[in-house]
Amino acid sequence: MQDGFRFDSIADPSLKFVISYKTPCWGEGDTDRMVPLLSAFILFQAPDIKSTIDTFVNAVIRYDVATLERLTDPQYVEVSPLGQVDEREKFLSFYRVPADKRGPGPSKVELSDWIIRPIGKSGSVAIFRETFEIGGRKISFRVTTVLQMKGSDWLVVWNHATAVRG
């Protein structure tokens, strides 16, 4: 308890939701007389975030610029596995490449090892493993994605991918 408030979280084991809230408490030291009052909460929906990221990753591998434009915030910034920093327009320009100029795409993509945390009232950070299979070879990245709720949709604000060795 700090300054007469207790901080709590309720996490659903299936990651369907996390509620964080601050409750004022009376009768410090006397738990029988403690009266919690829900004063604020954040509802955080991991499945919506996973779905947004899954759609984002599939749009990347399909070179689907319209979907990438819809899912990225105007302030989007990416740090590539090579360490290049690309703002939204430069990022999108890579996916405007004609089909005959593109390299081979992955035959399979798997997203796993999820860690998702809320940031403030309308943000979230997701850390996950992204594994591509290209020509029978698997390539994995550890990805950190920051999202912000705009209206009723999650938008990708920032993305950073680091190659996983081995």
Per-residue pLDDT of the chain (166 residues; tens, 9 = 90+): 444 444 444 443 444 444 444 444 444 444 443 333 222 323 446 779 999 999 999 999 999 999 999 999 999 999 988 899 999 999 999 999 998 888 888 888 999 999 999 998 899 999 999 999 988 899 999 999 999 999 989 999 999 999 998 6
Query: Is 76 found in the same domain as 88?
Result: yes
Query: Is 70 found in the same domain as 152?
Result: yes
Query: Is 145 found in the same domain as 64?
Result: yes
Q: Which two tokens stand for residue 47?
A: 């499945």
| Burial of residue 116, with CB atoms counted within 10 A of its CB: 0-12 exposed, 13-18 middle, 19 or more buried | buried
Query: Is 106 found in the same domain as 30?
Result: no
Number of domain units in the chain: 2
The pTM score is 0.72
Residue-level pLDDT at 135: 87
Query: Is 89 found in the same domain as 33?
Result: no
What φ, ψ does residue 103 adopt, rounded to 5°? Answer: -80, 180
Measuring CA to CA, which residue among 121, 165, 161 is closest to residue 142?
A: 161
Can you give the length of the chain in residues? 166
Query: Is 119 found in the same domain as 57?
Result: yes
Query: Is 87 found in the same domain as 18?
Result: no
Q: Which domain holds residue 12?
A: 5-44
Query: Is 53 found in the same domain as 112?
Result: yes
Measuring CA to CA, which residue among 62, 82, 81, 86 is closest to residue 156?
A: 86
Radius of gyration of the chain (CA): 20
Give the Cβ contact number of residue 64 at 10 Å. 16
d(Cα 147, Cα 4) in Å, to the nearest integer?
32
Query: Is 56 found in the same domain as 31?
Result: no
Query: Is 131 found in the same domain as 113?
Result: yes
All residues at 6 or more sequence positions from 80 whose CB lies less than 8 Å from its CB, including other chains: 86, 161
Q: Which two tokens stand for residue 152?
A: 């009723």
Query: Is 92 found in the same domain as 32?
Result: no
Query: Is 60 found in the same domain as 39?
Result: no
